[in-house]
Structures are given as structure tokens and as C-alpha cells.
Amino acid sequence: MEQEGRGKRRKNRPAKPKTEQAEEFQQEAGKRPRGKLRWRWLLNTLAATLVVVAIAVTAFSLAMYSYYSSTILATLESKAQTAAGMFRNYTEVTYLYNARQFVNQFEEKATIEVQILNASGRVLISSTMDISGASVDTSDVANAIASKRVESYTGPDLSTGDHIIAASAPVVYNGTVVGVVRMVTSLRQVEAQMARIIAATSGVGLVILIAMGLIASYFIKSVLDPVIRVTETAKRIATGSYGVQMESRSNDEMGDLVDAINDMSMKIDQAERTQSEFISSVSHELRTPLTAISGWAETLYNGEVRDAADVKKGMGIIVSEAQRLTRMVEELLEFSRMETGRFNLSVEPIDILAELEDAVYTYREFFRRKNLELDYTECDEELPIISGDPERLRQVFCNLLDNADKHGGSGGRIEVSVGREEDDVVIRIRDHGPGVPEDELPYIKYKFYKGSSKARGSGIGLAVCDEIINSHNGELDIGNAPGGGCVATIRLPIGVENV
């Protein structure tokens, strides 16, 4: 029981006012972390740029290293082959003498080491003079002796561990390899040059990364700032600040979004005002007949009126106001069905002329008592059967006749005509009153809209009529007639298959 009581107290708790809701919403918004999207966007952009720069620097460095290595190797092979060709005309006896003379005259000893080897791969003469007599164990020498052509080697020197490039060319005498000319150079300078290139390209990449960061920050700011502004405005609208507007600062998609938010805000504000006016109007419209009914009922109940004529008059007022109250309630019910999608038609083949004449006959006597003339122009030809809901269509005719009385009865005459125009049955109901202001005509069929009219009503009658006619695949048009007054035109398609 105690838990049930708590549940009831929670259900009966009054709703918080919009101002309090807005303050709570703003406080909650202030607690939320800001700038996450900005930083995530920036980090993603920089990460993608860093990957691209790293790939570019790596590819460029490898390309440069390959270029330098292939150039050096081609140079060494050319020099070794040229030198080996110089010894082909020398005998084995003079080979050593001429080799020593070549090494001494070699001009690039500072960068390239020249080695003269015998047929077994042992160094006879070297431009460094410190490895003479040593055996060379790299693959280029053995391959050159075996294949009798120039062979190369790139890798660590097995004796010193330095990274080298070597080219070995065999010296062939009478078809026999008598020695090998080997050109060797260290890759230290190449590696130092590559380090400088990598440092330079990395610096360029860093500059690109910083530039991309600045560009991305500006771009993100230009995109997110309007989004934040739109978000804040949407929050204000959500907390009840209907009608608030934003300044559109661009003609792109963001400008379209701002225009859409502004339009939504204005429509919500208009709907809010219309709803408030509708509630106020309906409350007043319901109070007026209820007051008349209650007043006359109490008067008659207390026996304050004894004259039969006054009693009849009071009862007539009670009946009239009760009928008006019933019509208003029916309109509200119809509107409720329209809003909830429960608006249905009972379609059957009907004689539209008979339905219209019933409505005219019903209102003719009523108008006569008000000194209001009702002119009905019958159709010259027989109208075919159409498909529709007779009750709903009669409701439309009665509502339009009632509107003609309320808004144009001062003209003293109401005209009703029916006829056929091509494939439509056309019904016109015209009054000779002041008409509708031109600026109000586009909105006159909107729900709750009453415009500048001071006549009694809920403002939903024409909206209901328009929905009924549209459900019959027809068209309801409200306009001003030539010569003054307002005219309502109904167009309904002919044929039972059209609904």
C-alpha cells in the first residue's frame, strides 16, 4: 500500500514550468564535455596526414638510396671492366708490374679502393697497402673468376664490418683467368647523405603536417561553429523559446539548415499561439451556449417565467444553443479523428443533387426567420450518380451554409448553385457580405485559423470540410466573388470508381 501511494504521488506531481525546464536543460548542457568532435576530427585529419607524409618520406628516401646505390655500382662496374681490359694484352710475367703501376696512377684512391687479385682470390696489390696478401671472401670475386664476367657485391665487408659496394672484373689471358680487378667503396658517405635527405624530407613533412593542422583547424571551426550555433538554438527551441531566429551567414548546406531551423521555429511558434488561441476560443464558444442554456433552465425551473410565450421563447433558446453546442462538439470530434488517422468514409453511390437539396431545404426556413434570402439555382441537366459518403457531404454543405450566414449574412442574400463542368460536379455557395481579406485567403482552410473575423466558431470547420472533400478526391476552394462577398466552390469527380 505504501508503494502504491508513492506511485500515485509521483503521477500526481505537477509538471515543471518551461522556464525551470530550460534552466535544468542549460545546466545539464553545461556539464557535458565540449569540443570532443573538434579534437576527434583534428586528430583523425592529422593522423591521416601523418600516414601520408610518412609513406611519402619513406618512398622518397628509398628511391634516393636506390638511385645512389645503382649509380655507384654502375660506376664501379664500368671502372673495373675498363681496368681489366687494360691487362688483357700483358703477359703473366708483366701483370704484377703493370698492376702496381695502374694502382699508383689511379686518381680516385681517396673514394675508391683498387684491389689487384690473383686467380685464387688473394690480394696482390691494394691502393690502401694494408690488406696486401689478404684473401677476399665476398661473393663477387669467386663469381667473377667462375663466370669470367663482371660481378658485384653490396653488403658488409667481412673483415671490417663496413657497408660496402664492390665490383670485380676478371683479367682473362688466352682464355684463362689470371687475376681480378676489384673496385670497392664504402657507403658511409651515401648513408650520411641519406641521413641528410631523410632529415630534410622529414622537416618538409613536419611543415606539411603543421600546415594541414592549421588548415584543418580553420575548416573544422568554419563547420563546427555554425553547427554549435544551430545546436544551441535547437536547444532553446526545445526548452520553449519558440520563434527564435538565427542569422543565415552562408548560401551552402549549412545556410539551408539554418533556414530550415528558422522556418521550423516560426511554425512551432505559430502552432503554439494558434493552439492557445484555439483553446481560448473554444472555451469561450462552449461557455456562451452553456451560459444561455443554464440561465434559461434555472429561470424556467424556478418558475420565474409564467407567460406561455416567454416559456416557449426560453425553450427555443435552450434548443438552439444545445444544437449549436452539439455542432461544435461534433466538429471537435471530427477534428480529433482527422488528427489521429481515424477519419473514415462510408462510401456508396449517391444522388449528390438530393443531398444538396436536403441541406438547402433545412437552412431555407432557418434563414427566412432571420430575414436572410436563400436563392437556389437547380441544375438544368440530370447529374449522374457519384460515389461518396452522404452524411459527410451533407455535413460539408451545412457547414458552408452556416459559414455563409455567420460571415456574410449581413448581405441579406445567399446563393447556392450546382452544375456539371466537364467531369466534375461543381457546387457554389456564395454570400454577399464583406468577403475575406486577400492576405487571409491562403490560410483560411488551416486548422484553428479564424483571421480577423469576429464571428463565433472554433476555426476548424473549414479544415474538416477540406479534409472530407479531399477524401472524395475532390477540391474545396474559398475565394472572393466578383462584386463582393465570399464564394465556396466544391468540385467532386463523377463516377463511382473515383473514391
Longest CA span, the chain: 165
Angle at 133 between CA 127 and CA 137, to 5 degrees: 90
User: Cα(322)–Cα(313) distance, rounded to whole angstroms?
Assistant: 14
Of the candidates 141, 157, 159, 164, the residue with the CA atom closest to the CA atom of residue 80 = 141
User: What is the distance of C-alpha 85 from the center of its chain?
Assistant: 77
Separation of CA 204 from chain center: 38
Span 242-287, pLDDT tens digits: 777 777 777 777 777 778 888 888 877 777 776 776 677 667 667 7
Higher pLDDT, residue 80 or 246? 80
Q: Output the CA angle 322-323-326, nearest 5 degrees.
A: 85
Gap between the Cα atoms of 475 and 467, Å rounded = 9
Looking at residue 131, what is its pLDDT? Answer: 58
Quick one: pLDDT at residue 103?
Answer: 84
Neighbours of 372 (CB within 10 A): 20
Q: What is the pLDDT of residues 396-410, one digit of tens each?
A: 888 888 888 887 777
Chain centre to alpha carbon of residue 457:
42
Over residues 130-155, the mean pLDDT reads 83
282 and 458 in contact (C-beta within 8 Å)?
Answer: yes
Instruction: Name the amino acid, one letter, at 371.
Output: N
Dist CA 455 CA 477 (whole Å): 20
- State the Rg of the chain over Cα: 51
Candidates 325, 344, 324; CA nearest to 334 is 344
Coil, helix or strand for 20?
helix
Would you call 179 helix, strand, or coil by DSSP?
strand
b/e code 288-306 from CB counts within 10 Å (16+ = b):
ebeebbeebeeeeeeeeee
- For 447, half-sphere exposure in the C-beta direction (CA atoms, 13 angstrom radius) is 14
User: With contact defined as beta carbons under 8 Å apart, do 373 and 367 qualify?
Assistant: yes
- 118 neighbors 134 (Cβ within 8 angstroms): no
The residues facing 431 across adjacent strands are: 414
Helix (H) or strand (E) segment spanning residue 480:
strand 475-480
Rounded-to-integer distance, Cα 326 and Cα 323, Å:
5
Q: pLDDT digit string (tens) for 149-171?
A: 999 998 888 777 788 899 999 98
Average pLDDT value for the chain? 79
Evaluate if residue 499 carries a pLDDT over 60: no
Residue 339 pLDDT grade (very low, low, confident, very high; cuts 50, 70, 90): low
In terms of pLDDT, which residue wins out, 133 or 113? 113
Position 453 pLDDT exceeds 70: no
Mean pLDDT over 8-16 rounds to 41
Cβ-based neighbour number of residue 23 at 10 Å: 13
Task: Outline where 148-252 has alpha helix (H).
Answer: 188-238
pLDDT digits (tens, 9 = 90+) for 416-442: 999 888 888 999 999 888 888 888 888
Residues of the chain with pLDDT > 70: what percent? 83
Choose among 245, 246, 243: nearest CA to 274: 243
User: Which domains occur in the chain, in start order?
Assistant: 33-241 (3.30.450.20), 242-343 (1.10.287.130), 346-498 (3.30.565.10)
490 pLDDT above the threshold of 90: yes
pLDDT given at position 316: 82
Residue 13 makes CB contacts below 8 A (sequence gap 6+) with none
Q: What is the mean pLDDT of residues 182-205?
A: 87
More confident residue, 479 or 407: 479
Average pLDDT over residues 339-354: 79
The shares of helix, strand and coil residues in the chain, as percent rounded to the nearest 5, are 60, 15, 25
Closest CA to 59 of 205, 188, 165, 191: 205
Cell of 56: 611519402
Distance CA 283, CA 249 (A): 44
pTM for the model stands at: 0.46
* 10: pLDDT strictly greater than 50: no
The neighbour count for residue 475, using CB atoms within 10 Å, is 15
For the chain, give the percent of residues with pLDDT over 90: 7
- Mean pLDDT for 82-86 is 85
